[in-house]
Structure 1
């Protein structure tokens, strides 16, 4: 029987790999501790297949993620939604390993974003993911990566959907928020994955460590909570496990941060993704 924490509990960014990882067993762990909703982000394309060389090479990865989110929904009191896109680290795979020049890599990655946008347009995905490397790269690769991200913002504006980002660690990404605004997006619908407890610009999706969460709770600004669970049996201790967000929600409630819990799991998901985590709950059995 699942624990009921008296609130929706959303993990804003985790990966599921039913074929190679824990898959639905991870979802069951999340639900048993009181987790109710998931944003399931596709794993980097080269983790579920070959390094893409054509736009259609992205499609099987997206289909796998959509199917995993659908199966997860059947096991949750709430539901799961897929977010699809191109991991910014792909640029290094293409340039360093496959011999692409940065412009060619940019074009292929933008084509992958185009395919992900088709899923959003069809109602099969909730939003897009993009970003830029969090490690040092050449100026040409940096420029190409920023162009891919801005392409995602163009789709975000056209589709009126959120865009999750992988970026360098920072507490000030107002430049990125300005680019989203230039594209016609509400920058509040740009989500910085793996965020610290405070961020200027996009909405932070805060890693569920107590110090980061306390900062976010006390700041009072919109935020989300995540684990970045990678679901890779070869990296069992990497990032955080699927039980973490429910456990941290209980801790926040015990510490008296009820308003912060409502912020992260009801109000901000509604503002960023236009989802209702309360209306999509069913009673625990």
Structure 2
């Protein structure tokens, strides 16, 4: 029997790999503790196949994610949505391991983003994923990565969709928010994945550690919650397990942070993604009645 926390409960960034990882067992754990909605981000393309050499090589990871989302939605009281794109770490795989020049790596990654954008345009994905390395790279690789990210903002503006970012740790990414605005995007629809409780610029998707969540709740600004569960059998529970978000929601409610829970699980998802977590819960309930 699934616990009902009296609110939608959304994990804004996790991965599912039914073929190699826990897959739907992780979804069941999330749902059993009171989780209702998931944003499922495709695993890096090289985790689900060879390192891409052309745009079509990105499709298997995208299709696998969409299939996992469909299956997950059948097991949730709410539903799941896919966010698709190109992991910024691919640039290092291409340059360091495959011998690409940074400019050629940039072009291939932009091609992958264009494929992901097709899925958004068709209504098969909710948003895009991009970013830049969180580790030291050469100036040429850094410039190439920033060019890929800026292309993601161009797609986001054209498609009127959110863009999730994997970037270096920072509490001030206002420069990135300005790039999004320059491309025609609302910067609040740019989401910094793996954020702490305080961030200038994009909307923070806060890793569900209690101290970071306390900071986010006390600030009173828009935020989301996530685990970045990687669903890798060699790394069980990494980064946080699928039960974490519902457990942290229960804790926030016990601490008197009802407004923050509503912010993270109803208001911010609506503002960033255009999704209504309350309505999807009600719709599913009526379907099952």
Shorter-chain TM range is over 0.9
The alpha carbon displacement at 1:19 in A equals: 0.2
The alpha carbon displacement at 1:25 in A equals: 0.4
The alpha carbon displacement at 1:276 in A equals: 0.0
> What does the per-residue CA deviation read over 1:32-60, in whole Å, with 9 as the maximum and x for residues that have no partner?
00000000000000001000001000011
Q: Does 1:66 align with 2:66?
A: yes
Match of 1:275 in 2: 275
* Rounded Cα–Cα distance in structure 2 between residues aligned with 1:262 and 1:237: 26
Q: Does 1:121 align with 2:121?
A: yes
Match of 1:228 in 2: 228
* Rounded Cα–Cα distance in structure 1 between residues aligned with 2:89 and 2:96: 11
Q: Does 1:244 align with 2:240?
A: no
Question: Unaligned 5+ residue runs, structure 1?
Answer: none
* Rounded Cα–Cα distance in structure 2 between residues aligned with 1:13 and 1:169: 16
Describe the SS at the equivalent of 1:106: helix
Describe the SS at the equivalent of 2:165: strand
* Rounded Cα–Cα distance in structure 1 between residues aligned with 2:99 and 2:81: 35
Q: Does 1:177 align with 2:168?
A: no
The alpha carbon displacement at 1:136 in A equals: 0.2
Match of 1:51 in 2: 51
> What does the per-residue CA deviation read over 1:215-273, in whole Å, with 9 as the maximum and x for residues that have no partner?
00000000000000000000114210000000000000000000000000000000000
Q: Does 1:11 align with 2:8?
A: no
* C-alpha contact (below 8 Å) 2:206/2:226 kept by paired residues: yes
* Rounded Cα–Cα distance in structure 1 between residues aligned with 2:176 and 2:70: 32
Give the number of equivalent residue pairs: 285
* Rounded Cα–Cα distance in structure 2 between residues aligned with 1:275 and 1:118: 20
* C-alpha contact (below 8 Å) 2:171/2:198 kept by paired residues: yes
* Rounded Cα–Cα distance in structure 2 between residues aligned with 1:17 and 1:96: 26
Match of 1:41 in 2: 41
* Rounded Cα–Cα distance in structure 2 between residues aligned with 1:251 and 1:124: 34
* Rounded Cα–Cα distance in structure 2 between residues aligned with 1:45 and 1:78: 27
1:150-169 mapped onto 2 (5 Å cutoff) = 150-169=150-169
The alpha carbon displacement at 1:106 in A equals: 0.0
1:142-153 mapped onto 2 (5 Å cutoff) = 142-153=142-153
Q: CA RMSD in A?
A: 0.8
Q: Does 1:253 align with 2:222?
A: no
The alpha carbon displacement at 1:279 in A equals: 0.1
> What does the per-residue CA deviation read over 1:20-79, in whole Å, with 9 as the maximum and x for residues that have no partner?
000000000000000000000000000010000010000111000011001100000000
Describe the SS at the equivalent of 1:278: helix
